Structure 1
Amino acid sequence: MPFPIQTAAVNHAASDCPDFRRWCDGYGVIQHSEATQHQVSLLAEHLVAAGHQPDAATVYRKLADLDRLTSAGLWLVVHMTYARRVDVSGQPLAPQDLKTNPEGHTGGALNMVPAYAGYLALNNLTGRTRSWLMGQGHCVAAVDALNVLTGNLHPEQAERYRGPDGLSTLVSDFYSYRQKPDGTMAAPLGSHVNPHTAGGILEGGYLGFAELQYAHMPLPGESLVAFLSDGAAEEQRGSDWIPRWWRAEDCGAVMPVMIANGRRIEQRTELGTREGLERFEAHLEHRGFVPFRFDGRDPAAFVCALYEMEQALATNGEAALRGESGYPVRVPYGIAETTKGYGFYGASSNAAHNLPLPGNPRMDARARELFNEHAARLWVAPDQLQNAITHLNQHAGQSRPLERDHALATRNPPDPIIPRLPACRECTSPMKAVDDFFRALVAQNPDLRARVGNPDELASNRLGGVLDDLKHRVNDPENDQESVHGKIITALNEESVVSACLANKAGLNLVASYEAFCVKMLGAIRQELIFARHQKEIGRPARWLGLPVIATSHTWENGKNEQSHQDTTFCESMLAEMNDVSRVVFPADYNSTLATLPSVFRERGTISCMVIPKRERPCVF
């Protein structure tokens, strides 16, 4: 995916620039390959030509600042795992400065530092705040560390972590488990992405759901960077279908980047081998992606990759909008090649996942020596770091929001216009009330993007009108119930279809399934409920419109398909969730179903389980 400009002239001009040569020298453990140097020189020319930066030298200076911010982020992450305090002067830590019980997903968090830092720098270089999503939520230390350093924080974290001893408080809080007298957590910090994480929208406790959701999240005109796990990518096949669902007409730009560190918890991934990575690339190509590799150890390589991906997808999407090409369009897919825990001792080992040192540095002199030695390589002098942060933090001057307030993190669609439908006096299917109401709801709210999650048969579930109006989304329609621009996401993969609706927080959603199949959706739904409950607890409740997950063909009426199709687990589990984010209702007829639906869609940050018969029932209410 090369930049379409004269590369030789650009490279010659760059090599004569002192700021370019200074950046090329790298900083600490951060080095820049010839390939990345070449890409950066092209990036600088593009940014200047687009009017984003005054000259190439400014770009190179900011990328040198990025190196220093990244190194400081790596330094802070290892302290979050092992230390009770930091010494900003870079002096070695003594035994009493280190934790009795160190904890942290250190290797993955270290790999995320250059990724998230590159995302922040790209926003600065282009004057535009993009959204972000991280599938591997256990790598949150990288995000929190860089957010604290740059001041991209919610008020509770700013108050606690931006004072004179703020960084020491941060590392002490990480995995502290301290509680307030009322039982809530004392620190606005977690082991995974949570509502205290500035810009966080998905916990990422279950690997694989970000891969299924990211294509359905942004609206046209928005951009989303999705950081993904190589372990989840090779094992969650539904993520391969993103080009099947993406449409320029109703989807914003998506930039999926897999952090290919080659290891899951205690094993090498298949993608950790050259042959496995090549097979995965071939697989992605067959599915409509354009995979390409870059140096995942270098934050500037992330900047270049993300910029290229966004430009390429925009070009492909515009061609589809003009009718010059069909769907699926080719979706760029970045593969950031790195080693687990790069930048610190133990990189590339199984131990890098959690605690890379060979012992507890508080108790073990050799481990303490290794900690101080390798942390020293990451340290950045405070004056250099502050200068770098100042140059990369220009939100007010660029008139753009903090990354804390990106578009997906601040979703607040307008209240929907609720249709008024007449009651029914005849014997009819209660599911027909859902069909009638949702059709009318979508028709009266054309500015709210509609999504229907369908893992089986809409017609069988008495949603024939929804099918006629909204249609299955396909690339090559073969009948009048299918359309390239259909709103119904149909796949025999329950997690994928429910994720399409959970991700569509800007619009109207309906999930309908055989009751037994809802059980496979439960993990994704619980992740959403937990996050929404935590948002409410800290005073920033979710504002997305409520949605129903309808369990039909249920136990009490389904006697023909064996006990595998008779499973009350879903509604029972939803009854156990907190009822301010989870509702469970059992409407008995058309009229009680119709009476319930307006409140389902008026609610904010709430998921309603509705167990509804599909057979004809007399109207008794």
Structure 2
Amino acid sequence: MAHERVVHREAGGNVNVSPDVDRLCRALVRVGCSIPTQRVAEALLMTERLSNSLDARVPGLQRQAEFLATPGSSAQWQVLMRLVAAGMLLNHLTGMRRDWLSALPGMGAALEIWQLLTGAANRSRQQRYPLTAAGWARFAQEFAGDSEQQILPGPWISPELVGARAPLDTLVTQAIHQPLPGEVAVLVLAGDASEQLERLTRTLSWWSRKDCGVLIPVWVGETKKVPATGTNASQVLCSLADNRPVTIACALLEAEAEWHQSMGELKCLPLITLACQPATAAAHELTTVTDWPVATAVLRQPRRPLRPFMVTVNRPDPHWQSGDHEVLPLLDRYFADICEINPALRPRLASHVGATNEVLPISHERLGTRADGTAGALLHHHEGELLANACLGNQMGINLLVTDESAGLAMLEPLLQTVAFARRQKLDDEPAPWAGLPLVSRHDAAAPEMTEALLSQSADQVRVLLIPDGNTALAALKACYGESGVVMQLVIPDGRVDSLLTPTMAEQLVAHGASCLRGHCAAEIQLVACGYLSLQQAFRISERLQQFQRPHSLVYVLEPGRFRYARDSTEAGCQIDSQIIDGLFPERVRQRLVLCDMRPEVFIGHFRRLHLEHSQVLGFRNHPVARTGRMPQANGCSWLHGLVELALSLGLPEDSWMSAAEWLSLQPRRHQP
């Protein structure tokens, strides 16, 4: 479609408006923005000029970028460039910035260029690529470089982009939870629209007008694949073949107006579709571009940041425990306390374990009855991926994710993708602005795969804590909300446990990652436990050694990931100091017995910094049994097995520290294949 002129003439400082300007003014009024016509015309004129000028730059930049080399990508990128132009135009006119949610690399490339042109890019990017001929030459030369070098644009979506989110495969199911009240976010999709919109709509049941903002899905694709109006996934607000910035801007404003006028709960999303037209980019193939298009302050972006740089959570002291107790109810109460003392932060409690009112009764009572912004606070679903995305989408609030360890594997993909992007932000000196996400998983002795998978990640972004009692769990949850961009798995015991540690001891254990619970670490025998079940076995071995007056120590390892060799300087910042390791695990120990709630090979891989030459490591050997109480015996890691291994390593008879009955009870199991 031929471009209509934005103005008829410019003479004597007066601007005679075209129907485009009048249409945009009316759309602005619908969302409560009454702006002088001349200002709208000037901004729209500059947007159209910049957009047309950038069209000539698409082919040259595309030749350098492999991610734009697929068929039809040039047309898609041109559409995305105009979509971003429309968003920048609205930001300028309304004084409100909009977030961009997308996994499309072309979207990041468009944001990169338009943020530089409008002054919205961060300061380091503006200094590296000034709006001069030399700045353009440098940008064109470095286009599509590696962003982890911290100086080059791309790959996209990169942490350097202002207002852009992580390029997650699961972003569609997180998007509805991301905007806060008063915010507007644009979700840009491509590919199979029906499938993605169906995934998006699945989480609408948790959306609440009281604590959520506006999300506008925009689908970019070929005309023949445009979703039909009235699909179950969404309603198509408008389908645009005219992809000029003014047309897209009016469509975005119309979608915002639809959101604001809908008084009931949200059942479907107003969808905008943009059709790609491959022939439009070919005309610029031979154009040589040597400098930036002329930019002007007419499109200066709002300076007010869209969101606070960092979420700060006020953390009261927990209600410390004594005696025996269940761990999950303690965390339930503490989460409710934190939500009440942080009323400005949106809460999300997602439970994969039973009904929330049965498993988490305190939060269900306190958050479920409040009317001020907590209608979507309690989430329960049988699909762990949806629950994880709901919490990950609530990055500017308080989250608690509860699951069984054996059922949590479905949560891994969104969790790992999110922390991978957060780590890139840290490498670029832009820490992720969201408070730590606690993942509470009840231990399953027969399925430690989730814990082992998370242990393989960078210890500075994914922290795995094997909790021995309630006080340690409370100290860990408090510490988690004090960090940023971190997922912390709390592997808690299932059932009632004794209070093994005082509050001070629990906080020290969380801070140091390990602690000596019995004896002196310089004793010739050392017992090491990692996990609640292993600790119970270690206590029984310790009691037997005390009966035989054998000096020993018992060290509990809470966070194995902090003891391995660091993979890079960033991970080294969270590792345990060598002096602490030498104090807890001295070389003079004659024999060390390790019991762990995971496969021995996983533990050994994390503890290569320790002196394990004279050590025996017992753990899960992939031998599940019906009764959890039989797990240590079936896997050869019970306290009796530990006594045998310890005696043999010291050159003593196998049954040195056992009664005849204990030896006989162990004998049949020791020789099973």
Please confirm whether the aligned pair reaches a TM-score higher than 0.5, indicating the same fold. Answer: yes
- The answer to whether the 8 Å contact 1:472/1:487 transfers is no
| CA displacement 1:161-219 (0-9 Å, x = unmatched) | 115422222222233459xxxxx6263322221111232222x1x43x22212221222
Aligned pairs for 1:319-330 within 5 A? 320=263, 326-328=264-266
Q: CA deviation at 1:467?
A: 2.9
Instruction: State how far apart, in whole Å, the 1-side matches of 2:498 and 2:88 are.
Output: 59
Distance 1:440 1:186, change over 3 A: closer
Per-residue CA deviation, residues 382-430 of structure 1 (Å, 9 max, x unaligned), is 6xx42xx3154234xxxx317xx432xx44233323243121312x322
- 1:145 alignment counterpart: 113
Query: Which residue of 246, 268, 280 corresponds with 1:343?
Result: 280
* Per-residue CA distance 1:130-156 (angstroms, 9 max, x = gap): 222223245321111222233322222
| Whole-Å separation in 2 of the counterparts to 1:534 and 1:299 | 32
Greater strand proportion: 2
Equivalent-residue separation in structure 2 for 1:596 and 1:173 (angstroms): 44
The 3 A distance-change label for structure 1 pair 546 and 48 is: closer
Question: AA paired with 2:389?
Answer: S
User: Residue 311 of structure 2 aligns with which residue?
Assistant: 413
Name which of structure 1's ranges 437-446 and 66-75 shifts more when overlaid on structure 2.
66-75
Q: What is the identity, as a one-letter code, of the residue corresponding to 1:343?
A: T
Tell me if structure 2 keeps the 8 A contact 1:532–1:542: yes
SS at match of 1:284: coil
3-state SS in 2 of match to 1:602:
coil
1:62 match: 43
1:505 Cα offset (Å): 1.9
Q: What letter is aligned with 1:424?
A: S
Partner of 1:372: 285
Aligned to 1:612: 492
Q: Which amino acid aligns with 1:502?
A: L
Tell me which residue corresponds to 1:401: 303
Letter in 1 for 2:285: N
The reply to whether residue 258 of structure 1 matches residue 219 of structure 2 is yes
How does the TM-score come out when normalised to structure 2? 0.65
After TM superposition, where is structure 1 displaced by more than 6 Å over at least 4 residues in a row? 379-382
The answer to whether the aligner puts 1:159 opposite 2:57 as a matched pair is no
2:174 paired with 1:213: yes
Which runs of no fewer than 5 residues in structure 1 stay unpaired?
1-16, 24-36, 84-98, 179-183, 263-271, 321-325, 346-369, 474-482, 559-565
Q: Which has the higher contact order (CA 8 A, sep 6+)?
A: 1
Distance 2:351 2:358 in 1: 10
1 CA distance for matches of 2:406 and 2:19?
A: 54
**Alignment partner, residue 88 of structure 1:** none
Give the alignment partner of residue 184 of structure 2, picking from 200, 223, 231.
Answer: 223
Q: Secondary structure at the match of 1:282?
A: coil
Contact 2:100 2:163 (8 Å CA) reproduced: yes
Structure 2 counterpart of 1:120: 88
In the other structure, the counterpart of 1:283 is 232
More displaced 10-residue stretch of structure 1: 290-299 or 569-578: 290-299
d(CA) in 2 for partners of 1:394 and 1:235?
34
2:316 is paired with a residue of what secondary structure?
coil
* Cα deviations by residue, 1:1-22 (Å, 9 ceiling, x for unpaired): xxxxxxxxxxxxxxxx984457
CA gap of 1:173–1:186, structure 2 versus 1, over 3 A, is: farther
The match for 2:139 among 165, 170, 195 is 170
Give the distance between the partners of 1:331 and 1:232, measured in 2 at CA. Answer: 13
Q: Aligned equivalents of 1:215 and 1:617: distance in 2?
A: 39
Q: 1:295 maps to what in 2?
A: 241
One-letter code of the match for 2:364?
Answer: L
Q: Does 1:487 align with 2:385?
A: no
Q: 334, 338, 345: which is aligned to 1:441?
A: 338
**Other-structure match for 2:483:** 603
Question: Cα distance, 1:250 vs. partner?
Answer: 0.9
Alpha-carbon distance, 1:117 to partner: 0.9
> Could you say which residue in structure 2 is the equivalent of 1:518?
408
Q: Partners in 1 of 2:140 and 2:332 — Cα distance?
A: 53
Structure 1 CA distance, aligned partners of 2:240 and 2:6?
23
Aligned residues: 486
Q: Which amino acid aligns with 1:448?
A: L
**Does the aligned pair in 1 maintain the 2:422–2:431 contact within 8 Å?**
yes
Aligned to 2:633: none
Of 424, 432, 436, which residue of structure 2 is paired with 1:542?
432
**Cα deviations across residues 16-54 of structure 1 (Å, max 9, x unaligned)?**
x9844579xxxxxxxxxxxxx977633323547956422
Q: 1:43 to 1:534 in 2, by over 3 A?
A: same
Q: State how 1:31-46 maps to structure 2 within 5 Å.
A: 41-46=22-27
Aligned-residue CA RMSD in angstroms? 3.5
Which residue in the other structure is 2:347 paired with?
A: 450
TM-score (norm 1): 0.70
Structure having the higher Rg: 2
| 3-state SS in 2 of match to 1:436 | helix
| Alpha-carbon distance between aligned partners in 2 of 1:472 and 1:237, rounded to the nearest angstrom | 30
Q: Which amino acid aligns with 1:497?
A: L
Aligned residue identity for 1:191: P
1:281 deviation in Å?
4.0
